[in-house]
Chain A
Amino acid sequence: MFRYFLRRTSMTAVTLSLVGIAVFLIMRMIPGDPASLMLGESATDAQLEILRSRWGLDQPLPIQFGYWLASVLSGDFGISTRTGQVVLPLILDRFAVTASIVVLAVFIAVAIAVPAGMIAAWRQNSLIDIVAVSVATLLLSIPSFWLGLIMLLIFGLKLGWVPVLGFVGFDENLLRAASFIILPVITLALIETGVLIRMARASTIEVLRLEYVTHARAKGVPEWRVLLRHVFPNAFAPTLTLIGLMLGNLLGGIAVLETVFTLPGIGRLLVESIFARDYPVVQGCLLLTATVFVLINLVVDLLYPVFDPRITVE
């Protein structure tokens, strides 16, 4: 158990260093002088010179990486060339908005999809199953931003139940904040439900065929107990991996949905910064989302033995 823990954690450390190298190289591949990219057009020659020497831009690339890593690890992500804000608090702030939507949506999706997928699998090829699979396939074929637009049209413009534009933080007014994020949350939850139902169903079907399930039934275990105690833990493990990937992907990638609902999330920030050539913010967004993605996968890997203890055996 401890060895498993250690191995996964050290693998994560390796991946994180690779992520660091990747972001560093990506930023250096942008045409132009790195110092003026980071300081913006208004920088004076003296400022540029200071940054060049601080980053060792006259030295070989590996040494430059060392300087860069040291500043990033100390939390110095630079200053936005567009707004002059310090990058780290800015991206954390925006990330919190995205995270609250994504976590809520995925939570709702799991609560609906896992039982639905298991029931569909349990009654495979019945009417319930066919309906569940069809609805799931349909849901995952709708682009999130389009579904968002339609939701906004129905509940925002036509019915007027929720505000169409703007955002209020949770710390300001809980109820008003909720009214801004309810539509994006439902939109996202609907689409992810589609993906998760199919996964939960497929893995449950595989487990239901195993002999220990037949054995449990044969020795007279009640059906609900067979499903909950014997089938669920095994069937949930692959779904858990998918949930991790999904969380990681969504935490970095709901820029389109944030655009539709005019939410100040991290995806929207990244897109705006790309447009404004605000490279310190672009770099910060990339580092943060990739790190979160890697860490979530680590958490999933560490949770995995809870459902499937065999995984810890070498």
Chain B
Amino acid sequence: MMNKANLIAGGALTGLLLTAAIIGAFWTPYDPLRLDMLNRLGPPSPVHWLGTDEFGRDVLSRLMTGATASLSIAAVTVALAITAGTIIGMLAGSARGWTARGISAVSDALLAFPGILLALTLIVIVGAGRNGIVIALAIAYLPGVMRVVRSTVLSAREKEYVEASRVIGNSELYTMLAHILPNCLAPITVLGTSMFGWAILSESALSFLGLGVPPPAPTWGNMLASSQPFFEQALWLSLAPGICISIALLGTNLLGDALRDRLDPRMAAI
């Protein structure tokens, strides 16, 4: 029962943000970058539903553009991490000897760094900004994907049906793709959903620190950072982006729980 509620609530919240992001890519009530110095720090009103910021820019329009930025960055990051992680994980799972040991050692070393710290460091190398965030976060999440894929491959490759596929003469690659890879789909889907939430959180944290998407382009993180000085006079500026990030995280958390229950029957009753 709780599973169904999770699925519906998570789906609804995520869907809401996706819709806002897709609409925001094509249309916003106002130009998110247009300055209007006469309407600085205007409170929410029928004209500007969520008020205006310190440069008179429409907050709702900026949130929608921010949603496009945050969600697309998260989506690209997760897609990159999953693609690369799955390929490397399958190699590590099927290789034996030193190759397998080498790959595991490198991933263990990467896992020894706290995620956000690793992302921060990689940003030092690849540079701050939109692409920097995507690359840094994708590399930071990669070892996690790799480990899940590798352990799934390790347990699947000893199964009879995999053995059978080899015996009837299917190539190693075909066996891998047709019989072993499908086993990884369920854990990857669950992990991917959580990673989507982490990516949104990390992106907003990095943008908040000034290492992410540079202003004036709006993201939830940099909107929150620039709202800090106007905290007392314009509370809506700080509330709106924070609520957006929370909705995104709550949506992906609930969806992740529901998917895990559905795809991993062992967890269903928990």
**A143 touches which of B204, B232, B269 (Cβ 8 Å):** B204
Instruction: With CB as the reference atom, state the residue of chain A lying closest to B247.
Output: A141
Judge if A187 is at the interface, Cβ distance under 8 Å.
Answer: no
Give the CA-CA distance A289 to B232 in the complex, in Å: 35
Contact with A along B243-270 (1 / 0, CB 8 A): 0011001100110010000000000011
Chain A contacts for B205, CB-based, 8 A: 143, 145, 255-256
Check B120 against A255 for contact (C-beta < 8 Å): yes
Identify the stretch in A15-23, A170-178, A301-309 within 8 Å (CB) of chain B at 4 or more residues.
A15-23
Contact with B along A263-276 (1 / 0, CB 8 A): 00000001100110
Judge if B172 is at the interface, Cβ distance under 8 Å.
Answer: no
Check B253 against A141 for contact (C-beta < 8 Å): yes
Chain B contacts for A293, CB-based, 8 A: 112-114
A21 CB → nearest B CB, Å: 7
A27 CB → nearest B CB, Å: 9
Chain B contacts for A259, CB-based, 8 A: 208-209
A-B CB pair tally, cutoff 8 Å: 126
Identify the stretch in B56-64, B121-129, B156-164, B176-184 within 8 Å (CB) of chain A at 4 or more residues.
B121-129
Check B270 against A18 for contact (C-beta < 8 Å): no
A91 CB → nearest B CB, Å: 13
Judge if B117 is at the interface, Cβ distance under 8 Å.
Answer: yes
**B228 touches which of A142, A149, A282 (Cβ 8 Å):** A149
Chain A contacts for B115, CB-based, 8 A: 249, 253
Judge if A133 is at the interface, Cβ distance under 8 Å.
Answer: yes
Give the CA-CA distance A29 to B114 in the complex, in Å: 20
Chain A contacts for B110, CB-based, 8 A: 22
Judge if B109 is at the interface, Cβ distance under 8 Å.
Answer: yes
Judge if A4 is at the interface, Cβ distance under 8 Å.
Answer: no
Give the CA-CA distance A294 to B250 in the complex, in Å: 30
Interface residues of A in 120-162 (CB under 8 A from B): 125, 130, 133, 137-138, 140-143, 145-146, 149-150, 152-153, 157
Give the CA-CA distance A270 to B122 in the complex, in Å: 13
Check A255 against B246 for contact (C-beta < 8 Å): no
Judge if A206 is at the interface, Cβ distance under 8 Å.
Answer: yes
Give the CA-CA distance A266 to B241 in the complex, in Å: 26
A25 CB → nearest B CB, Å: 10
**B124 touches which of A205, A251, A282 (Cβ 8 Å):** A282
Residue of A130, A251, A260, A274 most packed against chain B (CB within 10 A): A274
Instruction: With CB as the reference atom, state the residue of chain A lying closest to B245.
Output: A143
Contact with B along A84-126 (1 / 0, CB 8 A): 0000000000000000000000000000000000000000010
Judge if A290 is at the interface, Cβ distance under 8 Å.
Answer: yes
Instruction: With CB as the reference atom, state the residue of chain A lying closest to B209.
Output: A271
Given A30-B125, A206-B270, do A275 and B210 touch, yes or no (CB 8 Å)? yes
Give the CA-CA distance A26 to B123 in the complex, in Å: 11
Chain A contacts for B31, CB-based, 8 A: none
Given A26-B121, A30-B125, A206-B270, do A274 and B109 touch, yes or no (CB 8 Å)? no
Instruction: With CB as the reference atom, state the residue of chain A lying closest to B197.
Output: A141
Instruction: With CB as the reference atom, state the residue of chain B lying closest to A152.
Output: B231
Check B113 against A271 for contact (C-beta < 8 Å): no
Given A274-B123, A289-B117, do A141 and B109 touch, yes or no (CB 8 Å)? no
Check A146 against B224 for contact (C-beta < 8 Å): yes
Judge if B35 is at the interface, Cβ distance under 8 Å.
Answer: no
A183 CB → nearest B CB, Å: 14
Check B114 against A18 for contact (C-beta < 8 Å): no
Judge if A202 is at the interface, Cβ distance under 8 Å.
Answer: yes
Check A290 against B113 for contact (C-beta < 8 Å): yes
Instruction: With CB as the reference atom, state the residue of chain B lying closest to A292.
Output: B114
Instruction: With CB as the reference atom, state the residue of chain B lying closest to A147.
Output: B242
Judge if A252 is at the interface, Cβ distance under 8 Å.
Answer: yes
Check B125 against A294 for contact (C-beta < 8 Å): no
Give the CA-CA distance A274 to B204 in the complex, in Å: 18
Chain A contacts for B254, CB-based, 8 A: 137
Check B113 against A286 for contact (C-beta < 8 Å): yes
Given A29-B125, A30-B125, A289-B117, do A143 and B109 touch, yes or no (CB 8 Å)? no
Give the CA-CA distance A210 to B231 in the complex, in Å: 52
Residue of B121, B123, B242 most packed against chain A (CB within 10 A): B121
Judge if B213 is at the interface, Cβ distance under 8 Å.
Answer: no
Interface residues of B in 218-232 (CB under 8 A from A): 224, 228, 231-232
14 sampled A-B residue pairs with Cβ under 8 A: A15-B108, A19-B109, A26-B122, A141-B246, A141-B249, A141-B253, A143-B245, A146-B242, A201-B270, A206-B270, A249-B114, A253-B115, A274-B120, A286-B121
B interface residue numbers (CB < 8 A to A): 2, 105-106, 108-110, 112-117, 120-125, 201, 204-205, 208-211, 224, 228, 231-232, 235, 238, 241-242, 245-246, 249-250, 253-254, 257, 269-270
